[in-house]
């Protein structure tokens, strides 16, 4: 199983430490085409979109999903994957049928740690919140009753950062759901 982390911006190094050995940093569409699982890290989604422009990576991520591969976006990565983005609005890939609001805890809440249901450890950093879930979206974890980790098929999105905790179960769940699918041709 070939796992990679998009390494253009944000906290990709923490994800690499949380993934099984052998996971790689990826910066090109060709590198995405060689993966079975791509992680989109937290960071700043507007900056990521700018860096992604013209790279062909968005198209490579669509190919990855089409050939049965898995994608996991955390925080800014979840914002890239969502269908609708607000506060402020920006374009996104629509690979998970959710509406997401950026920086949704307000300016005064920079970051906090929480225990989810089930009992995953989570860190929220200038976190977004899911505001709408489409019918095909499954909730995998909640915080105070609201969804914070969801999947639609093999596309996973979390509004928190599992990579900043010692709890590896969220990554393990995503890795277990990803299977070798072969490279894009
Ligand atoms: N607030 C950031 C954004 O809107 C996301 C924060 C994060 O990834 N920790 O892109």
101 carries an active-site annotation: no
Q: Which residues pair with 87 in a beta bridge?
A: none
Q: What are the tens digits of pLDDT across the range 118-134?
A: 999 999 999 999 999 99
Q: What are the tens digits of pLDDT across the range 32-45?
A: 999 999 999 999 99
Tokens of 146: 């609201």
Query: Would you state the CATH architecture of domain 3-177?
Result: 3-Layer(aba) Sandwich (3.40)
Average confidence (pLDDT) over 48-75: 98
Per DSSP, the three-state class of 45 is helix
pLDDT class for 182, splitting at 50, 70, 90? confident
* pLDDT of res. 109: 79
- From 102, 106, 124, the mutation candidate for ligand 1 (largest count of ligand atoms within 8 A of CB) is 102
Pocket of ligand 1 (CB under 6 A): 42-45, 75-76, 79, 102-103, 125-126
Is cis: bond before 118, omega within 30 of 0?
A: yes
- From 44, 74, 122, 123, the mutation candidate for ligand 1 (largest count of ligand atoms within 8 A of CB) is 44
Residue 108 has pLDDT above 90, yes or no: no
* Cα–Cα distances in angstroms (integers) from residue 56 to residues 27, 29, 36, in the given order: 10, 6, 17
Q: What is the pTM of this model?
A: 0.96
Residue 173 has pLDDT above 80, yes or no: yes
pLDDT class for 106, splitting at 50, 70, 90? confident
Average confidence (pLDDT) over 169-178: 96
Query: 138, 163 in Cβ contact below 8 A?
Result: no
Report how far ligand 1's centroid is from the alpha carbon of 75 (Å).
Answer: 6
44 carries an active-site annotation: no
Residue found by looking up tokens 């200038």 in the block: 126
List, in order, residues 6 or more apart from 158 with CB less than 8 Å away: 72, 73, 74, 75, 78, 122, 141, 148, 149, 150, 170
């Amino acid at each position: 199983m070939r796992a990679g982390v998009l390494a253009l911006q944000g906290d990709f190094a923490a994800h690499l430490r949380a993934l099984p050995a052998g996971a790689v940093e990826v910066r090109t569409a060709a590198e995405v085409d060689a993966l079975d699982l791509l992680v989109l890290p937290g960071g700043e989604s507007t900056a990521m979109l700018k860096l992604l422009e013209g790279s062909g990576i968005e198209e490579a991520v669509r190919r990855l999903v089409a050939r049965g591969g898995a994608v996991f976006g955390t925080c800014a990565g979840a914002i890239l994957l969502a269908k609708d983005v607000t506060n402020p609005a920006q374009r996104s890939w629509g690979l998970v049928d959710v509406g997401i609001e950026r920086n949704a805890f307000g300016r005064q809440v920079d970051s906090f740690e929480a225990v989810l249901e089930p009992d995953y450890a989570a860190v929220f950093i200038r976190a977004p919140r899911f505001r709408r879930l489409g019918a095909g979206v499954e909730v995998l974890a909640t915080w105070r009753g609201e969804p914070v980790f969801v999947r639609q098929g093999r596309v996973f999105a979390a509004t928190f950062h599992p990579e900043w905790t010692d709890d590896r179960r969220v990554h393990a769940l995503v890795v277990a759901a990803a299977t070798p699918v072969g490279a894009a041709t």
